[in-house]
Amino acid sequence: MNAETELAMPPRPPAPAGKARRLGPFGVALAFLLGKLKWAFALFKLVKLSTLLSMLLAVGVYASMWGLPFALGFVVLLFVHEMGHAIAMRQQGVPASAPVFIPFVGAVIAMRGMPRNAWVEAVVGIGGPVLGTVGAGVCLVAGFATGAPFWFALASTGFMLNLFNMIPISPLDGGRVVGVVSRWLWAVGFAVGIAVFVVTHSPLLLGILVIGAVQLYRSMRAPNPAYYDVPAFQRVTMGAAYFGLLAAMALGTWVSEVPLHAQYGNDLTLSQGATVLFSAAALFFE
């Protein structure tokens, strides 16, 4: 991959204190929001032509199977997930590429530099699932507010999308997260991944298992203990965040599926491992 320089925004000059005070609480709030907009502008720079074109391609491919509304919602959820990684990379000082969408694979935002240690890698890894879960939660709230099955199906797909990514196998997000907790969890990840593959026969998951096995072999052949030498409180914090997020995703999936099963009965099978990313939409638009 071609190297890119880290995206950086010049510091925004603070609003004159006197003017803000003269405008009262509204002026102070406006000055605060303007100061925070530099993050929005920095993230907007990540949305390059390649991102927009790949997004349009992905929407077009998915729309041919599921219809435009669900395809658009699905791609937006992918984008939200990738922006979670982008925010975490920027916060940790890791240069990032622009997101690229690949139909039937997902989306990718590459690190243009190596994390300093396993803690930084874990923060970057969990950033996507955290913001992605928030996005799915917004869809769930919209479902309860409107009663429309569309939002419940989109929420379920969003939760399962992020839950799948939390399987502790590299290069999935979960594999990057659990390295700082315990590398033994990678073995658990392979067991879970193999079990899901037996059920789903997903070629994508098989490829992930192969890539993960290669990376695990390389890390065992040339270990770097210093990379994983982080304070105990960071291990505990990331472990709590990982398992807490898993619980939130599982609960969100169950809550979003209940209204769908109530309307469609047993014909709506939204709990089939990785295939839920596509079966949910297909069943919804049948």
71 plus 25 within the same structural domain: no
For residues 28 and 159, membership in a common domain is answered with no
Same domain, yes or no: 101 and 12: no
* Nearest to 77, CA basis, from 207, 256, 243, 263: 256
Query: Are residue 163 and residue 215 in the same domain, yes or no?
Result: yes
Do 92 and 118 fall within a single domain?
Answer: yes
The domain tally of the chain equals: 2
HSE, CB side, 13 Å, CA atoms: give it for residue 76.
13
Kindly report whether the global pTM for this prediction surpasses the value 0.85. Answer: no
Answer for the pair 189, 178: CB distance below 8 angstroms, yes or no: yes
| Sequential pLDDT tens for the chain (286 residues) | 443 333 333 344 344 444 444 444 444 444 544 454 444 444 444 456 667 788 888 888 888 888 898 989 999 999 999 889 989 998 888 887 777 777 777 777 777 778 888 899 999 999 999 999 999 999 999 999 999 889 999 999 999 889 988 988 888 899 889 888 887 788 888 888 888 888 877 777 788 788 878 877 777 776 677 888 889 999 999 999 999 999 999 999 999 988 887 777 655 543 333 334 443 333 333 3
Cα(248)–Cα(259) distance, rounded to whole angstroms?
A: 18
Together in a domain, 219 and 270: yes
Q: Indicate if 11 and 117 belong to the same structural domain.
A: no
Question: Which domain covers residue 235, as residue numbers?
Answer: 48-284
Report which DSSP code applies to 268: -
65-68 long-range contacts (CB < 8 A, ≥24 apart) are 65/278, 65/281, 65/282, 66/281, 66/282, 66/284, 66/285, 67/285
Q: Which whole-number Å values give the CA distances from 225 to 75, 180, 183, 219, 245, in the listed order?
A: 38, 11, 11, 10, 27
ω into 171 cis (within 30 of 0): yes
